[in-house]
A and B are shown apart, each in its own frame.
Chain A
Protein backbone atom coordinates (compact mmCIF):
# COMPACT_ATOMS: atom_id res chain seq x y z
CA UNK A 1 0.00 0.00 0.00
CA UNK A 2 2.46 2.52 1.24
CA UNK A 3 5.10 1.37 -1.17
CA UNK A 4 2.60 1.59 -4.00
CA UNK A 5 1.84 5.22 -3.21
CA UNK A 6 5.51 6.02 -2.81
CA UNK A 7 6.16 4.54 -6.22
CA UNK A 8 3.38 6.71 -7.59
CA UNK A 9 4.91 9.74 -5.90
CA UNK A 10 8.24 8.91 -7.51
CA UNK A 11 6.54 8.61 -10.92
CA UNK A 12 5.08 12.08 -10.50
CA UNK A 13 8.28 13.60 -9.22
CA UNK A 14 10.36 12.20 -12.07
CA UNK A 15 7.86 13.42 -14.63
CA UNK A 16 8.12 16.90 -13.14
CA UNK A 17 11.89 16.75 -13.15
CA UNK A 18 11.97 15.85 -16.82
CA UNK A 19 9.99 19.01 -17.44
CA UNK A 20 12.15 21.08 -15.15
CA UNK A 21 15.73 20.21 -16.06
CA UNK A 22 17.45 21.30 -19.21
CA UNK A 23 20.47 18.98 -19.41
CA UNK A 24 19.63 16.01 -21.58
CA UNK A 25 21.93 13.74 -19.57
CA UNK A 26 20.04 14.53 -16.38
CA UNK A 27 16.73 13.97 -18.13
CA UNK A 28 17.83 10.53 -19.20
CA UNK A 29 18.96 9.66 -15.68
CA UNK A 30 15.63 10.85 -14.29
CA UNK A 31 13.88 8.76 -16.89
CA UNK A 32 15.78 5.68 -15.72
CA UNK A 33 14.65 6.38 -12.15
CA UNK A 34 11.10 6.59 -13.38
CA UNK A 35 11.47 3.20 -15.04
CA UNK A 36 12.62 1.78 -11.73
CA UNK A 37 9.66 3.37 -9.94
CA UNK A 38 7.33 1.81 -12.48
CA UNK A 39 8.95 -1.56 -11.90
CA UNK A 40 8.44 -1.15 -8.14
CA UNK A 41 4.82 -0.32 -8.78
CA UNK A 42 4.31 -3.46 -10.82
CA UNK A 43 6.27 -5.44 -8.23
CA UNK A 44 3.97 -4.23 -5.43
CA UNK A 45 0.95 -5.24 -7.46
CA UNK A 46 2.61 -8.60 -8.10
CA UNK A 47 3.14 -9.11 -4.41
CA UNK A 48 -0.50 -8.24 -3.76
CA UNK A 49 -1.81 -10.59 -6.41
CA UNK A 50 0.89 -13.13 -5.68
CA UNK A 51 1.25 -13.86 -9.35
CA UNK A 52 4.44 -15.10 -10.93
CA UNK A 53 3.43 -13.64 -14.25
CA UNK A 54 3.31 -10.11 -12.82
CA UNK A 55 6.68 -10.64 -11.17
CA UNK A 56 8.08 -11.49 -14.57
CA UNK A 57 6.51 -8.37 -16.04
CA UNK A 58 8.03 -6.29 -13.24
CA UNK A 59 11.44 -7.70 -13.98
CA UNK A 60 10.90 -7.03 -17.67
CA UNK A 61 9.88 -3.44 -17.00
CA UNK A 62 12.93 -2.94 -14.84
CA UNK A 63 15.32 -4.28 -17.44
CA UNK A 64 13.75 -2.46 -20.34
CA UNK A 65 12.82 0.91 -18.87
CA UNK A 66 15.52 1.37 -16.29
CA UNK A 67 18.25 -0.39 -18.27
CA UNK A 68 17.96 -0.82 -22.00
CA UNK A 69 16.05 2.34 -23.00
CA UNK A 70 18.18 4.74 -20.95
CA UNK A 71 21.26 3.01 -22.34
CA UNK A 72 20.05 3.52 -25.89
CA UNK A 73 19.20 7.13 -25.16
CA UNK A 74 22.57 7.75 -23.62
CA UNK A 75 24.27 6.29 -26.67
CA UNK A 76 22.22 8.58 -28.88
CA UNK A 77 23.24 11.49 -26.68
CA UNK A 78 26.90 10.58 -26.84
CA UNK A 79 26.65 10.68 -30.61
CA UNK A 80 24.87 14.00 -30.53
CA UNK A 81 27.95 16.07 -29.97
CA UNK A 82 27.48 19.58 -28.67
CA UNK A 83 23.71 19.72 -28.23
CA UNK A 84 23.48 18.50 -24.68
CA UNK A 85 20.96 20.98 -23.43
CA UNK A 86 17.37 21.76 -24.19
CA UNK A 87 18.13 25.43 -24.55
CA UNK A 88 14.97 27.01 -25.81
CA UNK A 89 11.83 24.96 -25.33
CA UNK A 90 8.82 26.33 -27.19
CA UNK A 91 7.15 27.12 -23.87
CA UNK A 92 9.51 28.46 -21.22
CA UNK A 93 10.26 26.34 -18.20
CA UNK A 94 8.28 28.29 -15.59
CA UNK A 95 5.23 28.38 -17.82
CA UNK A 96 5.50 24.68 -18.60
CA UNK A 97 5.74 23.89 -14.89
CA UNK A 98 2.55 25.86 -14.28
CA UNK A 99 0.97 24.11 -17.24
CA UNK A 100 1.91 20.81 -15.64
CA UNK A 101 0.11 21.94 -12.49
CA UNK A 102 -3.01 22.57 -14.55
CA UNK A 103 -2.60 19.20 -16.29
CA UNK A 104 -2.46 17.46 -12.91
CA UNK A 105 -5.79 18.94 -11.90
CA UNK A 106 -7.24 18.08 -15.29
CA UNK A 107 -6.02 14.50 -14.95
CA UNK A 108 -7.64 14.28 -11.56
CA UNK A 109 -10.94 15.60 -12.89
CA UNK A 110 -11.12 13.26 -15.88
CA UNK A 111 -10.05 10.11 -14.09
CA UNK A 112 -12.49 10.51 -11.23
CA UNK A 113 -15.26 8.48 -12.92
CA UNK A 114 -12.73 5.74 -13.64
CA UNK A 115 -11.74 5.58 -9.99
CA UNK A 116 -15.33 5.42 -8.88
CA UNK A 117 -15.94 2.32 -11.02
CA UNK A 118 -13.89 0.19 -8.68
CA UNK A 119 -12.56 2.15 -5.73
CA UNK A 120 -9.48 0.42 -4.37
CA UNK A 121 -6.02 1.39 -3.29
CA UNK A 122 -4.63 0.76 -6.76
CA UNK A 123 -7.31 2.58 -8.75
CA UNK A 124 -7.01 5.59 -6.44
CA UNK A 125 -3.63 6.16 -8.03
CA UNK A 126 -4.93 6.25 -11.61
CA UNK A 127 -4.79 10.08 -11.77
CA UNK A 128 -1.04 9.82 -11.24
CA UNK A 129 -0.71 7.66 -14.34
CA UNK A 130 -2.90 9.98 -16.36
CA UNK A 131 -0.85 12.96 -15.17
CA UNK A 132 2.34 11.29 -16.36
CA UNK A 133 0.73 10.64 -19.74
CA UNK A 134 -0.33 14.27 -20.07
CA UNK A 135 3.03 15.63 -18.97
CA UNK A 136 4.72 13.28 -21.43
CA UNK A 137 2.49 14.56 -24.19
CA UNK A 138 3.29 18.11 -23.16
CA UNK A 139 7.02 17.41 -23.34
CA UNK A 140 6.52 15.85 -26.75
CA UNK A 141 4.73 18.97 -27.98
CA UNK A 142 6.92 21.70 -26.56
CA UNK A 143 10.49 20.46 -26.78
CA UNK A 144 12.80 21.10 -29.68
CA UNK A 145 15.45 18.43 -29.36
CA UNK A 146 14.54 15.10 -30.90
CA UNK A 147 16.00 13.34 -27.89
CA UNK A 148 13.88 15.14 -25.34
CA UNK A 149 10.85 14.56 -27.48
CA UNK A 150 11.75 10.91 -27.41
CA UNK A 151 11.83 11.06 -23.63
CA UNK A 152 8.41 12.70 -23.73
CA UNK A 153 7.11 9.86 -25.82
CA UNK A 154 8.57 7.31 -23.43
CA UNK A 155 7.08 9.22 -20.51
CA UNK A 156 3.68 8.84 -22.12
CA UNK A 157 4.28 5.17 -22.53
CA UNK A 158 5.30 4.83 -18.88
CA UNK A 159 2.12 6.61 -17.90
CA UNK A 160 -0.03 4.37 -20.07
CA UNK A 161 1.62 1.29 -18.63
CA UNK A 162 1.05 2.57 -15.10
CA UNK A 163 -2.62 3.25 -15.79
CA UNK A 164 -2.95 -0.18 -17.38
CA UNK A 165 -1.57 -1.98 -14.37
CA UNK A 166 -3.46 0.14 -11.90
CA UNK A 167 -6.82 -0.46 -13.57
CA UNK A 168 -6.64 -4.16 -14.32
CA UNK A 169 -3.63 -5.34 -12.30
CA UNK A 170 -2.78 -7.61 -15.16
CA UNK A 171 -2.42 -6.63 -18.75
CA UNK A 172 -0.98 -10.02 -19.29
CA UNK A 173 2.55 -10.96 -20.04
CA UNK A 174 2.01 -11.26 -23.75
CA UNK A 175 0.48 -7.82 -24.14
CA UNK A 176 3.20 -6.19 -22.09
CA UNK A 177 5.82 -8.03 -24.10
CA UNK A 178 4.26 -6.78 -27.31
CA UNK A 179 4.11 -3.21 -26.06
CA UNK A 180 7.68 -3.34 -24.87
CA UNK A 181 8.90 -4.55 -28.22
CA UNK A 182 6.93 -1.81 -29.91
CA UNK A 183 8.50 0.82 -27.72
CA UNK A 184 11.96 -0.59 -28.29
CA UNK A 185 11.39 -0.52 -32.02
CA UNK A 186 10.13 3.04 -31.88
CA UNK A 187 13.19 4.14 -29.98
CA UNK A 188 15.50 2.45 -32.43
CA UNK A 189 13.74 3.99 -35.39
CA UNK A 190 13.83 7.45 -33.82
CA UNK A 191 17.46 7.00 -32.99
CA UNK A 192 18.22 6.26 -36.59
CA UNK A 193 16.13 9.25 -37.59
CA UNK A 194 18.06 11.51 -35.23
CA UNK A 195 21.35 10.36 -36.62
CA UNK A 196 20.21 10.95 -40.17
CA UNK A 197 18.85 14.36 -39.26
CA UNK A 198 22.10 15.37 -37.72
CA UNK A 199 23.97 14.25 -40.77
CA UNK A 200 21.65 16.32 -42.95
CA UNK A 201 21.17 19.47 -40.87
CA UNK A 202 23.98 19.25 -38.35
CA UNK A 203 21.38 19.65 -35.65
CA UNK A 204 18.48 17.82 -34.11
CA UNK A 205 16.17 20.74 -33.75
CA UNK A 206 12.93 19.33 -35.07
CA UNK A 207 11.74 22.77 -36.08
CA UNK A 208 14.18 22.56 -38.93
CA UNK A 209 12.09 19.80 -40.45
CA UNK A 210 9.79 22.58 -41.52
CA UNK A 211 12.28 23.33 -44.24
CA UNK A 212 11.43 20.02 -45.87
CA UNK A 213 8.04 21.36 -46.75
CA UNK A 214 9.38 24.09 -48.96
Chain B
Protein backbone atom coordinates (compact mmCIF):
# COMPACT_ATOMS: atom_id res chain seq x y z
CA UNK B 1 0.00 0.00 0.00
CA UNK B 2 1.75 3.16 -1.15
CA UNK B 3 1.30 6.74 -0.03
CA UNK B 4 -0.19 7.58 -3.39
CA UNK B 5 -2.72 4.79 -3.02
CA UNK B 6 -3.73 5.96 0.45
CA UNK B 7 -4.16 9.53 -0.75
CA UNK B 8 -6.38 8.24 -3.55
CA UNK B 9 -8.29 6.03 -1.14
CA UNK B 10 -9.14 9.04 1.02
CA UNK B 11 -9.66 11.73 -1.60
CA UNK B 12 -11.72 9.70 -4.06
CA UNK B 13 -14.64 8.61 -1.85
CA UNK B 14 -14.95 12.10 -0.41
CA UNK B 15 -14.94 13.57 -3.89
CA UNK B 16 -17.45 11.05 -5.24
CA UNK B 17 -19.85 11.40 -2.32
CA UNK B 18 -19.69 15.19 -2.35
CA UNK B 19 -19.65 15.57 -6.10
CA UNK B 20 -22.12 13.00 -7.39
CA UNK B 21 -25.30 14.88 -6.38
CA UNK B 22 -23.77 17.92 -8.06
CA UNK B 23 -23.26 15.84 -11.20
CA UNK B 24 -26.94 14.88 -11.15
CA UNK B 25 -27.80 18.53 -10.60
CA UNK B 26 -25.60 19.53 -13.51
CA UNK B 27 -27.21 16.98 -15.79
CA UNK B 28 -30.71 18.08 -14.83
CA UNK B 29 -29.69 21.67 -15.41
CA UNK B 30 -28.31 20.90 -18.86
CA UNK B 31 -31.53 19.12 -19.76
CA UNK B 32 -33.64 21.93 -18.42
CA UNK B 33 -31.78 24.57 -20.40
CA UNK B 34 -31.93 22.53 -23.58
CA UNK B 35 -35.65 22.05 -23.11
CA UNK B 36 -36.12 25.76 -22.56
CA UNK B 37 -36.71 25.62 -18.81
CA UNK B 38 -34.85 27.56 -16.15
CA UNK B 39 -33.94 24.52 -14.05
CA UNK B 40 -33.55 24.24 -10.30
CA UNK B 41 -29.81 24.82 -10.11
CA UNK B 42 -27.11 22.25 -9.67
CA UNK B 43 -27.36 22.31 -5.88
CA UNK B 44 -30.94 21.03 -5.89
CA UNK B 45 -30.09 17.30 -5.43
CA UNK B 46 -28.15 18.17 -2.27
CA UNK B 47 -31.11 20.16 -0.95
CA UNK B 48 -33.37 17.20 -1.70
CA UNK B 49 -31.03 14.86 0.14
CA UNK B 50 -30.91 17.17 3.14
CA UNK B 51 -34.66 17.40 3.23
CA UNK B 52 -35.15 13.65 2.92
CA UNK B 53 -32.59 12.75 5.55
CA UNK B 54 -34.35 14.92 8.13
CA UNK B 55 -37.65 13.14 7.66
CA UNK B 56 -39.10 10.39 9.76
CA UNK B 57 -37.94 6.82 9.21
CA UNK B 58 -40.67 4.62 7.81
CA UNK B 59 -40.96 0.87 7.85
CA UNK B 60 -43.49 -0.47 5.35
CA UNK B 61 -45.58 -3.24 6.89
CA UNK B 62 -44.32 -6.76 6.25
CA UNK B 63 -40.83 -5.86 5.09
CA UNK B 64 -37.74 -7.44 6.57
CA UNK B 65 -34.10 -6.63 7.24
CA UNK B 66 -33.37 -7.22 3.57
CA UNK B 67 -35.41 -4.13 2.81
CA UNK B 68 -33.69 -2.08 5.52
CA UNK B 69 -30.14 -3.14 4.71
CA UNK B 70 -30.37 -2.93 0.92
CA UNK B 71 -29.66 0.85 0.69
CA UNK B 72 -26.70 0.41 3.02
CA UNK B 73 -25.30 -2.42 0.89
CA UNK B 74 -25.89 -0.37 -2.23
CA UNK B 75 -23.97 2.62 -0.87
CA UNK B 76 -21.28 0.41 0.63
CA UNK B 77 -20.54 -1.34 -2.67
CA UNK B 78 -20.34 1.96 -4.50
CA UNK B 79 -18.15 3.39 -1.77
CA UNK B 80 -15.71 0.48 -2.03
CA UNK B 81 -15.54 1.01 -5.78
CA UNK B 82 -14.94 4.73 -5.21
CA UNK B 83 -12.04 3.87 -2.91
CA UNK B 84 -10.29 1.28 -5.04
CA UNK B 85 -10.69 2.43 -8.65
CA UNK B 86 -7.92 4.77 -9.84
CA UNK B 87 -9.96 7.94 -10.30
CA UNK B 88 -7.59 10.56 -8.93
CA UNK B 89 -4.40 8.60 -8.39
CA UNK B 90 -2.95 5.82 -10.53
CA UNK B 91 -2.34 3.58 -7.58
CA UNK B 92 -5.15 2.04 -5.62
CA UNK B 93 -5.56 1.93 -1.88
CA UNK B 94 -6.49 -1.76 -1.98
CA UNK B 95 -4.79 -2.99 -5.11
CA UNK B 96 -5.99 -6.63 -5.00
CA UNK B 97 -9.57 -5.38 -5.22
CA UNK B 98 -8.94 -2.90 -8.05
CA UNK B 99 -9.70 -5.49 -10.67
CA UNK B 100 -12.17 -4.70 -13.45
CA UNK B 101 -14.13 -7.91 -12.91
CA UNK B 102 -14.27 -7.36 -9.17
CA UNK B 103 -15.44 -3.78 -9.59
CA UNK B 104 -18.13 -4.77 -12.07
CA UNK B 105 -19.28 -7.59 -9.80
CA UNK B 106 -19.39 -5.25 -6.81
CA UNK B 107 -21.60 -2.82 -8.69
CA UNK B 108 -23.84 -5.72 -9.70
CA UNK B 109 -24.05 -6.76 -6.05
CA UNK B 110 -25.53 -3.36 -5.23
CA UNK B 111 -28.16 -3.79 -7.92
CA UNK B 112 -29.00 -7.25 -6.58
CA UNK B 113 -29.48 -5.87 -3.06
CA UNK B 114 -31.95 -3.35 -4.37
CA UNK B 115 -33.79 -5.96 -6.45
CA UNK B 116 -34.17 -8.17 -3.39
CA UNK B 117 -35.52 -5.19 -1.47
CA UNK B 118 -38.04 -4.64 -4.26
CA UNK B 119 -39.17 -8.26 -4.01
CA UNK B 120 -39.22 -8.08 -0.22
CA UNK B 121 -41.94 -5.45 -0.19
CA UNK B 122 -44.31 -7.96 -1.74
CA UNK B 123 -45.92 -5.34 -3.96
CA UNK B 124 -46.44 -5.75 -7.65
CA UNK B 125 -44.36 -2.65 -8.34
CA UNK B 126 -41.37 -3.95 -6.40
CA UNK B 127 -41.43 -7.29 -8.14
CA UNK B 128 -41.86 -5.68 -11.52
CA UNK B 129 -38.91 -3.36 -11.03
CA UNK B 130 -36.73 -6.19 -9.71
CA UNK B 131 -37.64 -8.44 -12.59
CA UNK B 132 -36.87 -5.78 -15.20
CA UNK B 133 -33.66 -4.70 -13.51
CA UNK B 134 -32.38 -8.28 -13.34
CA UNK B 135 -33.27 -8.88 -16.98
CA UNK B 136 -31.28 -5.85 -18.05
CA UNK B 137 -28.42 -6.78 -15.73
CA UNK B 138 -28.25 -10.29 -17.19
CA UNK B 139 -28.15 -8.95 -20.73
CA UNK B 140 -25.61 -6.23 -19.96
CA UNK B 141 -23.13 -8.66 -18.45
CA UNK B 142 -21.83 -10.23 -21.69
CA UNK B 143 -21.29 -6.84 -23.31
CA UNK B 144 -19.54 -5.52 -20.26
CA UNK B 145 -17.20 -8.44 -19.86
CA UNK B 146 -16.34 -8.65 -23.55
CA UNK B 147 -15.61 -4.92 -23.58
CA UNK B 148 -13.37 -5.44 -20.56
CA UNK B 149 -11.75 -8.27 -22.45
CA UNK B 150 -11.00 -5.93 -25.36
CA UNK B 151 -9.45 -3.37 -23.01
CA UNK B 152 -7.37 -5.84 -21.07
CA UNK B 153 -6.02 -7.80 -24.04
CA UNK B 154 -3.67 -5.00 -25.03
CA UNK B 155 -2.46 -4.55 -21.46
CA UNK B 156 -2.40 -8.22 -20.53
CA UNK B 157 -4.13 -7.57 -17.25
CA UNK B 158 -7.52 -6.70 -15.84
CA UNK B 159 -5.98 -4.69 -13.04
CA UNK B 160 -7.34 -1.16 -13.30
CA UNK B 161 -4.09 0.46 -12.23
CA UNK B 162 -2.23 -1.45 -14.92
CA UNK B 163 -4.75 -0.46 -17.62
CA UNK B 164 -4.71 3.20 -16.64
CA UNK B 165 -0.94 3.51 -16.46
CA UNK B 166 -0.50 1.64 -19.73
CA UNK B 167 -2.81 4.11 -21.46
CA UNK B 168 -0.88 6.97 -19.84
CA UNK B 169 2.37 5.66 -21.26
CA UNK B 170 1.04 4.97 -24.71
CA UNK B 171 -1.65 7.55 -25.50
CA UNK B 172 -1.75 6.61 -29.19
CA UNK B 173 -3.55 3.40 -28.25
CA UNK B 174 -6.65 5.32 -27.33
CA UNK B 175 -7.51 6.15 -30.90
CA UNK B 176 -7.13 2.59 -32.12
CA UNK B 177 -10.30 1.02 -33.51
CA UNK B 178 -10.32 -1.51 -30.69
CA UNK B 179 -10.59 1.07 -27.96
CA UNK B 180 -13.02 3.27 -29.89
CA UNK B 181 -15.38 0.34 -30.46
CA UNK B 182 -15.01 -0.73 -26.85
CA UNK B 183 -15.74 2.84 -25.75
CA UNK B 184 -18.99 2.94 -27.71
CA UNK B 185 -20.00 -0.45 -26.29
CA UNK B 186 -19.20 0.68 -22.77
CA UNK B 187 -21.22 3.86 -23.16
CA UNK B 188 -24.29 1.79 -24.03
CA UNK B 189 -23.60 -0.47 -21.07
CA UNK B 190 -23.26 2.45 -18.71
CA UNK B 191 -26.49 3.97 -19.94
CA UNK B 192 -28.20 0.65 -19.24
CA UNK B 193 -26.56 0.07 -15.85
CA UNK B 194 -27.27 3.53 -14.51
CA UNK B 195 -30.84 3.54 -15.75
CA UNK B 196 -30.69 6.51 -18.10
CA UNK B 197 -32.67 7.18 -21.26
CA UNK B 198 -33.15 5.27 -23.58
CA UNK B 199 -33.11 2.21 -21.29
CA UNK B 200 -34.83 3.65 -18.25
CA UNK B 201 -36.10 7.08 -17.39
CA UNK B 202 -34.96 8.23 -13.96
CA UNK B 203 -37.74 10.80 -13.71
CA UNK B 204 -40.74 8.67 -14.56
CA UNK B 205 -43.24 7.05 -12.27
CA UNK B 206 -45.37 5.45 -14.94
CA UNK B 207 -45.80 1.76 -14.23
CA UNK B 208 -45.47 0.77 -17.86
CA UNK B 209 -41.98 2.16 -18.14
CA UNK B 210 -40.26 2.47 -14.80
CA UNK B 211 -37.52 0.10 -13.79
CA UNK B 212 -35.33 1.56 -11.08
CA UNK B 213 -38.06 3.73 -9.60
CA UNK B 214 -40.40 0.75 -9.29
CA UNK B 215 -37.91 -1.10 -7.12
CA UNK B 216 -37.43 1.81 -4.73
CA UNK B 217 -41.05 2.91 -4.60
CA UNK B 218 -41.46 1.93 -0.94
CA UNK B 219 -38.45 3.83 0.31
CA UNK B 220 -39.02 7.13 2.09
CA UNK B 221 -37.12 9.61 4.20
CA UNK B 222 -33.48 8.86 5.05
CA UNK B 223 -33.63 5.48 3.26
CA UNK B 224 -34.72 7.18 0.08
CA UNK B 225 -31.93 9.71 0.55
CA UNK B 226 -29.44 6.83 0.67
CA UNK B 227 -30.89 5.24 -2.45
CA UNK B 228 -30.80 8.54 -4.32
CA UNK B 229 -27.26 9.21 -3.18
CA UNK B 230 -26.21 5.73 -4.24
CA UNK B 231 -27.80 6.15 -7.66
CA UNK B 232 -25.90 9.41 -8.14
CA UNK B 233 -22.68 7.80 -6.92
CA UNK B 234 -23.07 4.88 -9.29
CA UNK B 235 -23.52 7.28 -12.16
CA UNK B 236 -20.37 9.21 -11.29
CA UNK B 237 -18.40 6.04 -10.66
CA UNK B 238 -19.36 4.64 -14.05
CA UNK B 239 -18.61 7.90 -15.84
CA UNK B 240 -15.32 8.22 -13.97
CA UNK B 241 -14.43 4.67 -14.96
CA UNK B 242 -15.23 5.43 -18.59
CA UNK B 243 -13.18 8.62 -18.48
CA UNK B 244 -10.13 7.04 -16.91
CA UNK B 245 -10.15 3.89 -19.00
CA UNK B 246 -9.98 5.88 -22.22
CA UNK B 247 -8.60 9.30 -21.23
CA UNK B 248 -6.67 9.01 -17.98
CA UNK B 249 -4.75 12.24 -18.55
CA UNK B 250 -4.35 14.47 -15.54
CA UNK B 251 -4.46 11.62 -13.07
CA UNK B 252 -1.94 11.95 -10.24
CA UNK B 253 1.11 9.71 -10.51
CA UNK B 254 2.89 11.13 -7.46
CA UNK B 255 1.59 11.92 -4.00
CA UNK B 256 2.43 15.64 -4.11
CA UNK B 257 -0.38 18.12 -3.35
CA UNK B 258 -0.29 19.84 -6.78
CA UNK B 259 -0.45 16.51 -8.61
CA UNK B 260 -3.39 15.36 -6.51
CA UNK B 261 -5.12 18.69 -7.00
CA UNK B 262 -4.70 18.41 -10.74
CA UNK B 263 -5.98 14.84 -10.53
CA UNK B 264 -9.11 16.01 -8.71
CA UNK B 265 -9.71 18.82 -11.18
CA UNK B 266 -9.17 16.55 -14.16
CA UNK B 267 -11.65 14.02 -12.83
CA UNK B 268 -14.24 16.70 -12.10
CA UNK B 269 -13.87 18.19 -15.57
CA UNK B 270 -13.95 14.84 -17.36
CA UNK B 271 -16.95 13.50 -15.48
CA UNK B 272 -18.71 16.85 -15.78
CA UNK B 273 -18.20 16.93 -19.55
CA UNK B 274 -19.33 13.33 -19.94
CA UNK B 275 -22.38 13.95 -17.78
CA UNK B 276 -23.24 17.07 -19.77
CA UNK B 277 -22.92 15.18 -23.05
CA UNK B 278 -25.08 12.36 -21.72
CA UNK B 279 -27.75 14.80 -20.56
CA UNK B 280 -27.66 16.64 -23.88
CA UNK B 281 -27.99 13.38 -25.79
CA UNK B 282 -30.94 12.36 -23.60
CA UNK B 283 -32.89 15.39 -24.79
CA UNK B 284 -32.86 14.10 -28.33
CA UNK B 285 -33.58 10.44 -27.61
CA UNK B 286 -36.85 8.79 -26.71
CA UNK B 287 -37.07 5.97 -24.21
CA UNK B 288 -37.04 2.57 -25.81
CA UNK B 289 -39.72 0.01 -25.17
CA UNK B 290 -38.47 -2.52 -22.64
CA UNK B 291 -38.44 -5.24 -25.27
CA UNK B 292 -36.41 -3.13 -27.66
CA UNK B 293 -33.65 -2.86 -25.06
CA UNK B 294 -32.20 -6.30 -25.92
CA UNK B 295 -31.70 -5.01 -29.45
CA UNK B 296 -29.65 -2.13 -28.13
CA UNK B 297 -27.64 -4.44 -25.94
CA UNK B 298 -27.13 -6.95 -28.75
CA UNK B 299 -25.75 -4.09 -30.82
CA UNK B 300 -23.38 -3.03 -28.11
CA UNK B 301 -22.37 -6.66 -27.60
CA UNK B 302 -21.48 -6.86 -31.27
CA UNK B 303 -19.42 -3.70 -30.94
CA UNK B 304 -17.60 -5.13 -27.94
CA UNK B 305 -16.89 -8.32 -29.81
CA UNK B 306 -15.67 -6.32 -32.79
CA UNK B 307 -13.41 -4.47 -30.39
CA UNK B 308 -11.90 -7.75 -29.29
CA UNK B 309 -11.66 -8.87 -32.89
CA UNK B 310 -10.08 -5.58 -33.94
CA UNK B 311 -7.55 -5.84 -31.14
CA UNK B 312 -6.11 -8.88 -32.83
CA UNK B 313 -7.08 -8.18 -36.47
CA UNK B 314 -5.30 -4.90 -36.41
CA UNK B 315 -2.59 -5.53 -33.87
Contact = CB atoms under 8 A, between A and B. Distances in A.
Interface of A: 2, 5-6, 8-9, 12-13, 16, 20, 93-95, 97-98, 100-101, 104-105, 108, 124-125, 127-128
Interface stretch (B5-13, B42-50, B198-206, B294-302): B294-302
B294 A94 contact: yes
Q: Which 5 A-B pairs have the closest CB atoms?
A: A9-B177, A94-B298, A97-B298, A5-B314, A97-B302
A123 to B, nearest CB: 11
A108 B312 CA distance: 10
A70 B184 CA distance: 26
A108 B310 CA distance: 10
B1 interface: no
B302 A127 contact: no
Contact of A127 (B172, B299, B309): B309
Contacts, number: 75
B75 to A, nearest CB: 34
B93 to A, nearest CB: 36
B299 A16 contact: yes
Given A9-B178, A93-B298, 4 more contacts: A6-B180, A97-B299, A98-B302, A128-B310
A162 to B, nearest CB: 13
Given A12-B181, A12-B306, A125-B313, A93 B295 contact: yes
Contacts of B315: 124
Nearest to A103: B302
B176 interface: yes
B211 interface: no
A98 B306 contact: no
B305 interface: yes
A209 B306 CA distance: 36
A128 B294 CA distance: 25
Contacts of A2: 172, 175-176
Interface string B169-187: 0001001111011001000
Contacts of B301: 97-98, 101
Contacts of A6: 175-177, 180
Contacts of B298: 93-95, 97-98
A5 B172 CA distance: 12
B190 interface: no
Contact of B309 (A5, A93, A95, A108): A108
15 contacts: A2-B175, A5-B314, A6-B177, A6-B180, A9-B181, A20-B299, A93-B299, A97-B299, A98-B302, A100-B302, A101-B301, A104-B305, A104-B306, A124-B315, A127-B309
A128 B307 CA distance: 12
Contacts of B177: 5-6, 8-9, 12
Contact of A9 (B294, B302, B310): B310
Contact of B180 (A9, A97, A125): A9
A135 B54 CA distance: 58
Interface in B119-140: none
B114 interface: no
A101 B181 CA distance: 13
Contacts of A94: 294-295, 298
A2 to B, nearest CB: 7
Contacts of B302: 16, 97-98, 100-101, 104
Interface in B85-131: none
Contacts of A95: 298
Nearest to A95: B298
B303 interface: yes
Contact of A125 (B172, B181, B314): B314
Given A94-B298, A98-B301, A101-B305, A124 B181 contact: no
Contacts of A128: 310, 313-314
A12 B302 CA distance: 11
Among B178, B306, B314, find the residue whose CB has the most chain A CB atoms closer than 10 A: B314
Nearest to A96: B298
Nearest to A12: B306
Interface in B268-315: 294-295, 298-299, 301-303, 305-306, 309-310, 312-315
Contacts of B314: 5, 8-9, 124-125, 128
B176 A5 contact: yes
